[in-house]
Chains A and B, each alone.
Chain A
Amino acid sequence: MPVRAFHFLFLAALPAFALVYTALGAPPAAAQELPSSRVFVPAPPKGKGDKCIADKDFMRRNHMKILEHQRDQTVYDGVRIKRTSLKECVACHVVNGPDALPLTSESPKYFCRVCHDYAAVKVDCFECHVSRPPVAKAAGLPAGEKERDALASFLKEGRQ
């Protein structure tokens, strides 16, 4: 019987969407119902606030559609709806690292990556979009103009 239960889970996990749904659809409580299961279930970190813009099940299936729709609206029509923007997702689902600074998408603990790594679905949003909310310079990020200029002049000198 335990073997059959495992087999069932394995089959269900084959298609990518089913896998994401199984993985994300199972809250920690559900994971506890299967103590003998060897299937690792990702647990994405909780965002800020009480709830997301829609319920979890909807967001799990449709977040990419919302983002793409908003993307086209913004790029072509100049409609910038804050609520469904990537910037707002990033701001709300921020995960702080050990240094209390927001993690970037380079970290496997980054909100999107927790599930996307699991499902082996590559996200390329953050090749262009910044993956963390802007951090005040006081927080120690090397975003200063002076540092940038210093680096540029250093590189130039190195070439001469």
Chain B
Amino acid sequence: MTATRNNPFLRDKPAPDDVPERGRRDVLRALAAGVGLALAPGVTLYAFGGPAEARAPGDPVSSKVRWGLLIDVNKCADGCTRCVTACSTENGWSDTGHPLTDAQWIRKVKVTDPKTGASRSLPVMCQHCAEPPCVDVCPTGASFKRADGIVLVDKHICIGCRYCMMACPYNARSFIHESLKDQKPYAPRGKGTVESCTLCVHRIDAGRIPACVEACPAEGGGALAFGDLNDPAAEISQRIAKYASAQIRADLGTDPGVRYQNL
């Protein structure tokens, strides 16, 4: 059942024509707009610590919800890795001394404009795309998108082929090369499977917020915000509607659920 349930080949997909064309220039424009916004007067931001909407226990996740993140890059300090540490502690992945192959669900990336020298530091994790390329390429249907927009790997049917790792434009996925012990009970991980940020799905199912959002320091409001992008009343949606935000590589049409403000 599982093999067919989220098989991308059996999924209803909009025809490519339905997807609006987005050009590379839009991204550059968004980046340019970001610099302008950085100079704009201070904007009141809060860390969205509010609990995710409670779902009745036993109810399946609903597609009415689409979970997303909004990351205010201006608030993200260069050198601060609290979100990365929190994710690692929460989900049990860690540095084992093999930097080329170690699992990394979230990482800090520094981007610098060579012309102006302006640089930004930002966390990059699975972008939880609405049109995830990893799901398109998965031969077993293990890579899937949950109804509420969270992109996950069903490790029970993952064969470790790593096509999804190659397909992901965000380099968000990792492969586990070695046997593991003492994993977290809520975050099973094992050799031979691919994994990535789950948006702390176990926390969301319990009505909590992802560990990275919780850990992002409260001073200055917190750079990370979590919420339901489909709910116009949600603070994250209001902020997205009010201020310009960008999706990384929006030109690819993957429609990430993770958005960046002031990038």
Q: Measured between alpha carbons, how far is A141 from B186 in the docked complex, in Å?
A: 18
A87 at the interface (CB under 8 A from B): yes
Interface contact A80-B97, CB-CB below 8 Å: no
Q: Which residues of B contact A128 (CB under 8 A)?
A: 155, 180, 183, 188-190, 193
Q: Measured between alpha carbons, how far is A153 from B99 in the docked complex, in Å?
A: 12
Known: A76-B146, A78-B201. A130 touches B156 (CB 8 A): no
Q: Which residues of A contact B255 (CB under 8 A)?
A: none
Interface contact B2-A79, CB-CB below 8 Å: no
User: Can you list 19 contacts pairing A with B, beta carbon distance less than 8 Å?
Assistant: A72-B2, A75-B152, A75-B154, A76-B6, A76-B60, A76-B146, A78-B146, A79-B58, A79-B60, A80-B206, A87-B186, A127-B191, A128-B190, A130-B182, A130-B183, A130-B185, A151-B97, A152-B94, A152-B95
Q: Measured between alpha carbons, how far is A77 from B146 in the docked complex, in Å?
A: 7
Q: Which residues of B contact A72 (CB under 8 A)?
A: 1-2, 5
B136 at the interface (CB under 8 A from A): no
B218 at the interface (CB under 8 A from A): no
Main secondary structure of the interface of B (DSSP, over half): loop
B92 to chain A: closest CB distance in Å? 9
A134 at the interface (CB under 8 A from B): yes
Q: Which residues of A contact B144 (CB under 8 A)?
A: 76
**Besides A76-B146, A81-B57, 15 other A-B contacts (C-beta < 8 A):** A71-B156, A75-B154, A76-B5, A76-B154, A77-B147, A78-B60, A80-B202, A81-B58, A90-B185, A104-B181, A128-B189, A129-B183, A143-B182, A149-B95, A152-B96
Q: Which residues of A contact B189 (CB under 8 A)?
A: 128
Total contacts A to B, CB within 8 angstroms? 81
A30 to chain B: closest CB distance in Å? 35
A140 to chain B: closest CB distance in Å? 13
Interfacial residues, chain B to chain A (CB-CB below 8 A): 1-2, 5-6, 55, 57-61, 89, 94-98, 144, 146-148, 152, 154-156, 179-186, 188-191, 193, 201-202, 204-206
Q: Measured between alpha carbons, how far is A152 from B186 in the docked complex, in Å?
A: 24
Interfacial residues, chain A to chain B (CB-CB below 8 A): 71-73, 75-81, 87, 90, 104, 127-130, 133-134, 141, 143, 145, 148-149, 151-156, 158-159
A46 to chain B: closest CB distance in Å? 22
Main secondary structure of the interface of A (DSSP, over half): helix
Q: Which residues of A contact B188 (CB under 8 A)?
A: 128-130
Known: A75-B154, A76-B144, A76-B146. A87 touches B61 (CB 8 A): no
Q: Measured between alpha carbons, how far is A69 from B181 in the docked complex, in Å?
A: 25
Q: Measured between alpha carbons, how far is A133 from B146 in the docked complex, in Å?
A: 28
Q: Which residues of A contact B185 (CB under 8 A)?
A: 87, 90, 129-130, 133-134
Q: Which residues of B contact A154 (CB under 8 A)?
A: 97
A122 to chain B: closest CB distance in Å? 14
B188 to chain A: closest CB distance in Å? 4
Q: Which residues of B contact A156 (CB under 8 A)?
A: 97
Most central of A80, A141, A155 by chain B CB within 10 Å? A80
A133 to chain B: closest CB distance in Å? 7
Residue in B59, B148, B182 whose CB lies within 8 Å of A79: B59
Q: Which residues of A contact B1 (CB under 8 A)?
A: 72
Q: Which residues of A contact B152 (CB under 8 A)?
A: 75
Interface contact A127-B179, CB-CB below 8 Å: yes
Q: Measured between alpha carbons, how far is A76 from B107 in the docked complex, in Å?
A: 26
